[in-house]
Amino acid sequence: MQHILEELDRRREQARAGGGEARVAAQHAKGKLTARERIDLLLDEGSFEEFDMFVEHRGTEFGMAEQKVPGDGVVTGWGTINGKVVYVFSKDFTVFGGSLSGAHAAKIVKVQRQAMKVGAPIIGLFDAGGARIQEGVDSLAGYADIFLENVMASGVVPQISVIMGPCAGGDVYSPAMTDFIFMVRDTSYMFVTGPDVVKTVTNEVVTAEELGGARVHAAKSGVAEGAFENDLEALTQVRRLVDFLPSSNRQAAPERESFDDPHRAEPSLDSLIPADPGKPYDIKELILKIVDEADFFEISSEWAKNIVCGFARMDGESVGIVANQPQVLAGVLDIDSSRKAARFV
């Protein structure tokens, strides 16, 4: 019996090591955390329960039979954020570049289905290069299964995607169908296909940042709801967002005790709006003064700035806020701000 337990411990250590020390060191050198380090930061300490730690791919072509790593490039399971149950999967770039195989996809689908059964948010941490080319159609079929679960979960449980590395192909199609997308500046990219393919097909030279960097998607395309400076800040803000959201469509939005008196007076609001209608004012100042504890989680703050959207609390209850911003284009609606507001609502 003892030798069985020792073998189990050995396999656990092997799975936790991911792609090995050299690849983990390369990940850290780029300013990025590993898949497991990200989960540890995102979830409450000691709350993570992992699924399918020893799953390996079933590919045999192109020498893949000799290249097997427990977990197969994705860490899946559930845990809590401030006591609230969430399901999570985190792609491991140190194992086959986080690419998706049939077994890898099955692990993600299992977590997606379990989240819907339980009625809990699902959070995906993406750091991967798309489909695993060695598995061909099996890999693409795995994406089809994931996309189906994305559609089925829409409106049922919150779906949050965090882009934390260079993601292409299916690893951006799936996040695009989720409710919220966050990115990390300078280390994360979202594109259908990378700069090398663009150069081959169109002969146009474009950098990864110009093609799909955090600044492009947070400020120009509006694909991402936010861009943060590093992995730590991104995961901290995801924890904050989860606090505002209901766990599923079967539950009300969470409430928490507020230290602000809901009947308080705010005399400064009397002079916030200028007497001259031609002069702008900052609508965010109004929002911060009327919500609980000046706590406002803004969505897409860099895109379509003429409208402000986000979450806050009033008398302890979660609320969504949509407000014109007089400081930008006099607060008028254009196509981008209309899309931003409609999508948020």
Q: What is the reported pLDDT for 64? A: 64
Q: What is the reported pLDDT for 129? A: 78
Please state the separation of Cα 112 from the chain's center in Å.
Answer: 14
Is 253 among the domain residues?
no
Its domain, for residue 292, covers 267-344
Average pLDDT for residues 177-190, to the nearest whole number? 92
Residue 110's pLDDT band (boundaries 50, 70, 90)? Answer: very high
Q: What is the reported pLDDT for 57? A: 63
Instruction: Say if residue 288 is in the same domain as residue 195.
Output: no
Q: Which of 244, 275, 292 is the last residue of a domain?
A: 244
Q: What is the reported pLDDT for 138? A: 82
Question: What one-letter code names the amino acid at 220?
Answer: K
Instruction: Say if residue 294 is in the same domain as residue 216.
Output: no
Instruction: Say if residue 155 is in the same domain as residue 8.
Output: yes
Q: Which of 197, 213, 244 is the last residue of a domain?
A: 244
21 vs 324, residue with greater confidence: 324
Instruction: Say if residue 11 is in the same domain as residue 43.
Output: yes
Which pTM value belongs to this model?
A: 0.90
Is 271 among the domain residues?
yes
Q: What is the reported pLDDT for 170? A: 82
CATH code, 276: 3.90.226.10
Instruction: Say if residue 117 is in the same domain as residue 10.
Output: yes
| Strand, helix or coil for residue 307 | strand
Instruction: Say if residue 158 is in the same domain as residue 36.
Output: yes
Is 103 among the domain residues?
yes
Question: What one-letter code names the amino acid at 274?
Answer: P
Count structural domains, the chain: 2
Residues, the chain, total? 345
Residue 320, pLDDT above cutoff 70? yes
Residues forming a β-bridge with 183: 163, 227
219 and 212 Cβ atoms separated by less than 8 Å: no
- Alpha carbons 33 and 86: distance in angstroms, whole number: 20
| Strand, helix or coil for residue 66 | helix
Residue 59, pLDDT above cutoff 70? no
Return the DSSP state at 44.
P
Instruction: Say if residue 192 is in the same domain as residue 62.
Output: yes
Is 147 among the domain residues?
yes
Instruction: Say if residue 281 is in the same domain as residue 184.
Output: no
Is 262 among the domain residues?
no
Instruction: Say if residue 235 is in the same domain as residue 288.
Output: no
Mean of the per-residue pLDDT values for the chain?
A: 88
Structure tokens at 183: 């990115």
Q: Are strands 166-168 and 159-163 parallel, antiparallel or unpaired?
A: unpaired
Residues forming a β-bridge with 74: 91
Is 251 among the domain residues?
no
Q: Which of 244, 259, 293 is the last residue of a domain?
A: 244
Dihedral of CA 148/187/91/65: which sign?
positive
Structure tokens at 277: 């209608």
Structure tokens at 249: 């469509």
Q: Are strands 180-184 and 296-299 parallel, antiparallel or unpaired?
A: unpaired
Average pLDDT for residues 202-229, to the nearest whole number? 89
CB-side neighbour CA atoms (13 Å) of 205: 0
pLDDT above 90 covers what percent of the chain?
Answer: 51
Instruction: Say if residue 234 is in the same domain as residue 334.
Output: no
Longest Cα pair distance anywhere in the chain, in angstroms? Answer: 83
Is 261 among the domain residues?
no
The Cα-based distances of 235 to 42, 72, 177 in angstroms read 5, 23, 20
Is 143 among the domain residues?
yes
Q: What is the reported pLDDT for 225? A: 93
Phi-psi region of 114 (alpha: psi -120 to 50; beta: other; left: phi over 0): alpha
Q: What is the reported pLDDT for 96? A: 76
Instruction: Say if residue 285 is in the same domain as residue 239.
Output: no
Instruction: Say if residue 230 is in the same domain as residue 278.
Output: no
